[in-house]
Structure 1
Amino acid sequence: MGAGAAAAALALCLVGGLIGFAVGQPSPTEAGIAQMREANAKRDVQQIIELTEMARGTADQLSPILLAIKQDSDAGRTPEASQVHQWQQTMRQLTEQFDDPPSGTTATNVARGGLKSAVEQGGIAVDSVALAVTSPAPVRKNQLALAARQGAQASVAWSIAAAQLDQINIDAGRGHQHVYLDAGDAEGAFTPDGAAEGADG
């Protein structure tokens, strides 16, 4: 092969390599989209961490209230007005946590919305107890029973949201996170799946 032919072949190889490199490189638009997706994924993981921590704190305060409502109704016992007033204050604080939620993925928004709905239902149950406290004795038992039913529905709603919260933690690589209420058995409520905390992440 002559020197000219060799030089031409080398030039073709260089050009082919450059074309292949250029073709393999993402365009500025593709690179920008990839960076945006990576940023969104990191943001969502942080939201999941914060939502899970908030849910744990909320469950710690909500569980004893719903359990007390159930036990009082079962026993035909009317709680003290001062106790109910304290419950109402707690429920307002728990509900306010969900004001102005950040924008997240659909899955995270569903978990957050489910937890919020459960807390709001719990607040209705407490308000029903407050109404019973000031009602005549003949109707008080039925009102307390209604409050207990509302509390049970709050437990069911929370359990569904807790299952969603568990799933988004798994999807985010954090493993199982079981944030269920300890408020007595409620018919139809989801229960933890038995997997260890943090497993399968």
Structure 2
Amino acid sequence: MSRRTGRPSHLSTSPARPGRPPARAVAVGIVAALVVGLLGGLVGYAVGRPSATESSVAKLHEADLRRDAQQIVELTDMARRTGEELGPILLAVRQEPAAGRAPEAAQVGQWQDVMRRLTAQFADPPSGMTATNVARGGLRSAVELAAVAVETVALAVAAPADRQPELLTLATRQAALAVTTWSVAATQLDQINIDAGNGHQHVHLDSDGAEGALTADGAAEGAGG
């Protein structure tokens, strides 16, 4: 029986080995990847970049916020000064008739001068953000109501004795309404100061039991900023 023999070694073919890609192909691939990445970044920047209109709107909004922050500080200072003069007048208008006394004509004349000056402060208000405008409008309304109460007292002082009680009672009600209106505006002013980072700022008047009047919340001045 004949013996089988394998194929001569010189005729056998060794399996093909995967060759390395040419250096040029590798370089081309790297360049292509860089180009794609660069284009993607440029497209992303172009898409994400705010338009000229959006940038202008953002700048205007920032300017409005800065202007409003300054207006809040100025309005708070004016409210403090106004309250220092307004409070005693409103207390007198409410307390003296209740005690059975009519204010002296000279005293009423001084009140009228003060009220004209305080009212004039609100004659040409600047335009601000809505919340600030609401606070300013409330303070102005309170001052105008107080001025009406003082004018009613003046009418009472000049009226016959039998009409004085009725007019003084009306002035008392008007003064109480002025205190209540001021308290609402003062609460609004306190809140916008907190929102602006100034903390609590209380400009409330002595309500003396005025119906519906809001009072300060008891927080320390400047706290919560």
2:162 aligns to what SS in structure 1?
helix
Q: Which has the higher helix share?
A: 1
The runs of 4+ residues in structure 1 deviating greater than 6 Å are: none
The correspondence of residues 58-69 of structure 1 with structure 2, limited to 5 A, is 58-69=82-93
2:61 is the counterpart of 1:37 = yes
**Alpha-carbon distance between aligned partners in 1 of 2:34 and 2:141, rounded to the nearest angstrom:** 69
**Rg larger in structure:** 2
Matched, 1:81 2:105: yes
Name the % identity: 62
CA distance in 1, matches of 2:61, 2:189: 21
Match of 1:122 among 137, 146, 149: 146
TM-score, normalised with respect to structure 1: 0.95
C-alpha deviation, 1:188, in angstroms = 0.9
Match of 1:166?
190
Shift in Å, 1:92: 0.6
Aligned amino acid, residue 156 of structure 1: T
Q: What TM-score do the two structures reach when normalised by structure 2?
A: 0.86
CA displacement, residues 155-196 of structure 1 (integer Å, 9 cap, x when unaligned) = 011001111111111111211111101252211100111112
RMSD over aligned CA atoms reads 1.2
Larger relative contact order, structure 1 or 2 (CA cutoff 8 Å, min sep 6): 1
Specify the code of the residue in structure 1 equivalent to 2:144. E
Task: Judge conservation of contact 1:66–1:183 (CA < 8 Å) in 2.
Answer: no
State how far apart, in whole Å, the 2-side matches of 1:171 and 1:33 are.
22
Unaligned runs of 5+ in 1: none
One-letter amino acid of the structure 2 residue matched with residue 163 of structure 1: T
The DSSP-based 3-state class of the residue aligned with 1:138 is: coil
* Aligned residue pairs, count: 201
Distance 2:73 2:97 in 1: 36
1:154 aligns with 2:211: no
Q: Distance in 2 between matches of 1:164 and 1:152?
A: 19
